[in-house]
Structure 1
Amino acid sequence: MIAHIAGEAHRLQLMVSAITEKGGRASNEDYLGMIDLGQKGFCCTLADGAGGHGNGALAARLTVDAVLGGYRENPMFAPASLASLIFRAEHTVSEEQPTSTSRMHMSATVVLLCIEPITGRALWAHWGDSRLYWFRSGKVHRMTEDHSVVQQLLHAGMYANSDPRSIPNRSVLAGAVGAESQVPPTVLPESMELLEGDAFLLCSDGLWENLHESAMEDALHASDRPDVWLQNMASAVNAQSRPHQDNLSAFAVWVSANPAVT
């Protein structure tokens, strides 16, 4: 399915698609959602839950609902506003944790993208190891940096020139919604101007851990629609037949110019 985000005054038009699969797990603890407020903006967000007893799924749903609910109430396009959306999710999950012993340690990673289509600019934020990739001219132009212990070790100079995917304990997080975080969420400090042909991928680690960035680029080149791009990447991951394949979820957002606006 593709959602078309367009308006007469929009400098940019968006095509948006999403995918979520439980992989080899018993349940799907990823959750994702989006909201289109017309001239006020567009926001999509994805969360990957953890915590056992099904409460990872609850943490992910609470996180996404809090982000989108906050954006609906106050669709301000500013870094501070995106930070407030994540802290709203943190407050929501933290309030729910004491209600049950099984929920005490539930948490979720989160990544969100907001686009102001009239000006054609984007902002994003994340906490944990769910990622955002920004593609330009078919290549990875920019990507988020995980809040993980492995990433901290890489910053410290260990595992030089290593692919984080191959490093032990790569899933140990240093920050996430509802966790005892060592690091705060990361918010893009200023909005980015978008160009026709830009593409975004928001994804849980079930996708990026099993697919190198070059394979994402190859799949993008081979796809004529965002839903086809997502399906091609998911098929490449599933073809590996990894035991206990993690939940896999992603948003694809393709940017095009509005021919009605000059």
Structure 2
Amino acid sequence: MIAHIAGDAHRLQLSVSAITDQGGRASNEDYLGMIDLGPKGFCCTLADGAGGHGNGALAARLTVDAVLGGYRENPMFAPASLASLIFRAEHTVSEEQPTSASRMHMSATVVLLCIEPVSGRALWAHWGDSRLYWFRDGKVHRMTEDHSVVQQLLHAGMYANEDPRSLPNRSVLAGAVGAESQVPPTVLHESIELMEGDAFLLCSDGLWENLHESAMEQALQAAERPDVWLQEMAHVVRSKGRPHQDNLSALAVWVSANPTPN
């Protein structure tokens, strides 16, 4: 399914699609969503929960609902506003943790993308190892950096030139919603101007850990629609046949010319 987001005042059109897959796990602890407020703005977000007893799914849902609810109430387009959305999610999950012994350690990664459609600009933020990729001219132009112990070791000069996908303890996080975080969320400091042909991919580690960026680019260049792009990437991951494949979730946002006259 594709949602086309455009309007008389919009500089560009957005085409949005999503996919989520339980993989080889007993339940799906990923959650995602989006909200379109017309000329006031667009926001989409994805969370990957953890915590056992099914409470990872609860943490992910609370996180996404808090982000989208906060954006609905105050769709301000500024880095501080995106940070406040993440801290709203942190407060929501933290309040729920003491209500049950099984919920005490639930947490969730989060990544969100907000677009101001009138000016055609974008901002994003994340906490944990769910990622955002920004593609331009069919290639990865920029991507988020994981809040993980492995990433901290890479910064310290260990594992030089190695792919984090292959390293031990790659799933140990240094920051996430509801966790005892060592690092704060990361928010893009300045919005970026969108161009026709830009594409964004928000995804949980169930996708990116099993798919190199070159494969993402190849699938993007071959796809005619964002849903086809997501389906092809998910197919590549599933075809590897890993019995304990993690939940796999992704949101795709494509930017094109606005067909609505200004």
Task: Report the TM-score range of the alignment, normalised by the length of the smaller protein.
Answer: over 0.9
Secondary structure of 1:16's partner?
A: strand
Unaligned runs of 5+ in 1: none
SS at match of 1:65: helix
Q: Is the 8 A contact 1:10 1:261 kept in 2?
A: no
Contact 2:6/2:260 (<8 A) preserved: no
For the residues of structure 2 that align with 1:260 and 1:216, how far apart are their CA atoms? 30
Distance 1:14 1:71 in 2: 18
Which residue of structure 2 aligns with residue 149 of structure 1?
A: 149
Aligned length: 262
How big is the shift at 1:33?
0.4
Separation of aligned partners in 2, 1:167 and 1:211: 15
The answer on 1:192 being equivalent to 2:182 is no
1:149-188 mapped onto 2 (5 Å cutoff): 149-188=149-188
1:209 and 2:173 are equivalent in the alignment: no
Shift in Å at residue 258 of structure 1?
1.5
The CA deviation string for residues 160-202 of structure 1, in whole angstroms up to 9 with x for no partner, is 0100000000000000000000000000001000000000000
Report the alpha carbon displacement of residue 257 of structure 1 after superposing the two structures with TM. 1.7
Q: Counterpart amino acid of 1:54?
A: G
Matched residue, 2:102: 102
- 1:22 matched residue in structure 2: 22
Among all aligned residue pairs of Structure 1 and Structure 2, give the percentage whose two residues are the same amino acid. Answer: 89
TM-score when normalising by structure 2: 0.99
Conserved 8 A contact 1:59-1:107: yes
1:92 correspondence with 2:102: no
Aligned to 2:59: 59
User: Cα RMSD between the aligned structures?
Assistant: 0.7
Q: Once the two structures are superposed, what CA deviation does each residue of 1:23-72 show, in whole Å capped at 9, x if it has no partner?
A: 00010000000000000000000000000000000000000000000000
Aligned to 2:247: 247
Return the alpha-carbon distance in structure 2 between the equivalents of residues 228 and 259 of structure 1: 21
Contact preservation (8 Å) 1:11, 1:261: no
Assess if the C-alpha contact under 8 Å between 1:120 and 1:194 holds in 2.
yes
Q: Distance in 2 between matches of 1:243 and 1:147?
A: 27
Cα deviations by residue, 1:73-121 (Å, 9 ceiling, x for unpaired): 0000000000000000000000000000000000000000000111000
Paired position in structure 2 for 1:69: 69
Mapped contact 2:13–2:259 kept (Cα < 8 A): no
Distance 1:158 1:243 in 2: 31
Matches within 5 A, 1:117-128: 117-128=117-128
TM-score by length of 1: 0.99
Q: Deviations over 1:123-166 (max 9, x none)?
A: 00000000000000000000000000000000000000100000
Unaligned segments of structure 2, at least 5 residues: none
Distance 1:80 1:121 in 2: 16
